[in-house]
Chains A and B, each alone.
Chain A
């Protein structure tokens, strides 16, 4: 799909434009990084602060910056095999909850694709293995990660959600036990919906959850969210 998209652009003669955008503007990215700098350092002498140092983040496994203590949520995601590539960083920066529910990174995200491109172009300057970093068009280019507000606006049927939730409770304990399998109780509805769509779209890697979410329709995900929300009341 992405390949087709790029091919189409190229054949239409937009090649130079794509390449220019794909590289991103690192200077502009440096300015954008100010919103990250409250928690993250990058560059010479960068240290872990509230968040880990971002030197060498490209091609690093998630949760693998030495000496930084990650949240359980990030560690669990990391074990699932998440690696910071252009595409996964792009997805994460757009909204951290896309990939890691319960991450300590309380950041609303950057909706604008150009801003993300520029920021990543800046961060890329501090990664040591440029061979692994797309110099030309990054694979994620042109993908729209923005969460369709219409999906979030769907109001689900809690009775159907209760039935669907039967498939969740074979593994997830409603008591909130978090041993080996994460708790899914008392989750904000929006996080719940975003997370299930991330599995459904294979942005999140866990094979069981990809399989379970893969056959849930938008309405069914909304129904589940409505049911789990009704448990809080």
Chain B
């Protein structure tokens, strides 16, 4: 159903005299309420843009469990020794103090879409006119036989950045001389398509410095992966003989792990490992499922404004969505958040709503000063978010260009984190 502002206003006004009616109708009695769940690249950006651009006309509440947010993007560079963990840590102080976002550090545990309320683990309930879900990913139970969340200390996923990332780095650095690191890579679709392979590069970079006879095994259920030619060229040039990538053709998808024995079985062959990174199959962050806006593992959304296909008052952003051609990346989530913010603001205050336009670029680091990138622009069609145009770095690029690409990625990190957190 298309959003109809008149009807929306009528419904909310009738529902409760106390509930904020949009300023657009000049009531002046209260402010429209937006609740955002999840403070990552999608949620933080949406909260900031709605608060920033609505001139106080919209009451924005951001629900995010952690006080310190570690970006997944660039967390691989921490593993490689290119960044300190503190350099990928961000707080929500500026969103609260500069933009007036009401930041609540708590878990959202349920959504009542009829009553339009969100219940928090702490017990309180938040009412909303528009709800934005940006919960990121959770893992599919039983995706990797032998592994569950109880094993995440023995075999970290490190696919939500923070303590998991620190743990994985520590385990890699503690490997015995000539030891073995294994990665179990995820099936499509998953967060950050080049992420596992950038991580392999960063682990190799670190091990080349401290443990040059160590081995890296990657068990992959896919036959190909993002920036494959670029990574494989980079691995051959920089980490020759260190990395053994086992794709689907060679049984890379037939994997079982034993976190107690620290073994990995690939296509029936059991290997003892000294550190193991298990990245299981993914699904939308659980609150999306609890809100009833998922279909299968992901939350389908309308391409024109990121609204849920299940509920016009609920929007879903980023990795949790099924939207079409965009990869699950922080850049994508940030891009989607701005389209969503424009639409939500228009619905609640009558501000201009412009046509959706989306874009994405993903930089990856292969070795020191050796950056590559892939990107595309997208448009909304009736059916999905559809790719318009794209590019990818070429193999055999000059050293200077690769160094410039890396510097560019550092500049982008500063840009997107400022765009998210203010």
Q: Are A212 and B377 in contact (CB under 8 A)?
A: yes
* Bound-state Cα–Cα, A15 to B359, Å: 46
Q: How far is the CB of A202 from chain B (nearest CB, A)?
A: 12
Q: Are B391 and A208 in contact (CB under 8 A)?
A: yes
Is A143's beta carbon under 8 Å from chain B?
Answer: no
Q: Give the dominant DSSP class at A's interface.
A: loop
Is B142's beta carbon under 8 Å from chain A?
Answer: no
Is A35's beta carbon under 8 Å from chain B?
Answer: no
Is B361's beta carbon under 8 Å from chain A?
Answer: yes
Contacts of B389 in A (CB 8 A): 211, 214-215
Nearest chain-A residue to B419 (Cβ)? A169
* Bound-state Cα–Cα, A167 to B335, Å: 7
Q: B329-364 CB contact bits vs A (8 Å, 1 = yes)?
A: 001001100100010000000001010010101000
Q: B52-81 CB contact bits vs A (8 Å, 1 = yes)?
A: 010000000000000000000000000000
> Of A52-60, A120-128, A177-185, which binds chain B?
A177-185
Contacts of A215 in B (CB 8 A): 357, 377, 388-389
Q: Are B412 and A180 in contact (CB under 8 A)?
A: yes
**Cross-chain contact of A180 among B53, B400, B408 (Cβ < 8 A):** B408
* Bound-state Cα–Cα, A139 to B403, Å: 31
Q: B369-388 CB contact bits vs A (8 Å, 1 = yes)?
A: 00001011100000000001
> Of A25-33, A41-49, A158-166, A190-198, which binds chain B?
A158-166
Q: Are B342 and A163 in contact (CB under 8 A)?
A: yes
Supposing A175-B418, A211-B375, A211-B377 touch, asked if A181 and B412 sit within 8 A by C-beta, the answer is: yes
* Bound-state Cα–Cα, A171 to B405, Å: 13
Q: How far is the CB of A180 from chain B (nearest CB, A)?
A: 3
Q: Are A172 and B352 in contact (CB under 8 A)?
A: no
Interface size on B, residues (CB 8 A): 36
Contacts of B398 in A (CB 8 A): 81
Nearest chain-B residue to A167 (Cβ)? B359
Q: Are B408 and A166 in contact (CB under 8 A)?
A: no
Q: B13-51 CB contact bits vs A (8 Å, 1 = yes)?
A: 000000000000000000000000000000000000100
Q: How far is the CB of A205 from chain B (nearest CB, A)?
A: 10
Q: Are B415 and A173 in contact (CB under 8 A)?
A: yes
Nearest chain-A residue to B394 (Cβ)? A207
* Bound-state Cα–Cα, A8 to B108, Å: 69
Is B145's beta carbon under 8 Å from chain A?
Answer: no
Q: Are A180 and B409 in contact (CB under 8 A)?
A: yes
* Bound-state Cα–Cα, A79 to B334, Å: 28
Q: How far is the CB of A113 from chain B (nearest CB, A)?
A: 31
Q: How far is the CB of A179 from chain B (nearest CB, A)?
A: 5
Contacts of B143 in A (CB 8 A): none
Q: Are B412 and A171 in contact (CB under 8 A)?
A: yes
Q: Are B404 and A173 in contact (CB under 8 A)?
A: no
Q: Are B401 and A81 in contact (CB under 8 A)?
A: yes
Q: Are B415 and A172 in contact (CB under 8 A)?
A: yes
Q: How far is the CB of B48 from chain A (nearest CB, A)?
A: 11
Supposing A170-B335, A215-B388 touch, asked if A181 and B377 sit within 8 A by C-beta, the answer is: no
Is B390's beta carbon under 8 Å from chain A?
Answer: yes
Q: Are A180 and B391 in contact (CB under 8 A)?
A: no
Q: B314-341 CB contact bits vs A (8 Å, 1 = yes)?
A: 0000000000000000010011001000
Q: Are B401 and A181 in contact (CB under 8 A)?
A: no
Contacts of A162 in B (CB 8 A): 53
Q: Are B373 and A208 in contact (CB under 8 A)?
A: yes
Contacts of B376 in A (CB 8 A): 211
Contacts of B377 in A (CB 8 A): 211-212, 214-215
Q: How far is the CB of B132 from chain A (nearest CB, A)?
A: 16
- Known pairs A181-B411, A208-B391, A215-B357 / 9 extra A-B pairs, C-beta < 8 Å: A164-B354, A173-B411, A177-B415, A180-B412, A181-B408, A207-B373, A210-B391, A211-B375, A214-B377
24 contacts between A and B (CB under 8 A): A76-B404, A79-B403, A79-B404, A81-B398, A81-B401, A160-B352, A164-B354, A166-B49, A170-B334, A170-B359, A170-B412, A171-B411, A171-B416, A172-B415, A173-B415, A177-B415, A179-B410, A180-B411, A180-B412, A180-B414, A181-B408, A211-B376, A211-B391, A215-B377
Taking Cβ atoms with an 8 Å cutoff, the residues of A that contact B are 76, 79-81, 159-160, 162-164, 166-167, 169-175, 177, 179-181, 207-208, 210-212, 214-215
Taking Cβ atoms with an 8 Å cutoff, the residues of B that contact A are 49, 53, 331, 334-335, 338, 342, 352, 354, 357, 359, 361, 373, 375-377, 388-391, 398, 400-401, 403-404, 407-412, 414-416, 418-419
Leading 7 A-B pairs by shortest Cβ distance? A180-B411, A181-B411, A180-B407, A79-B404, A166-B338, A207-B391, A171-B415
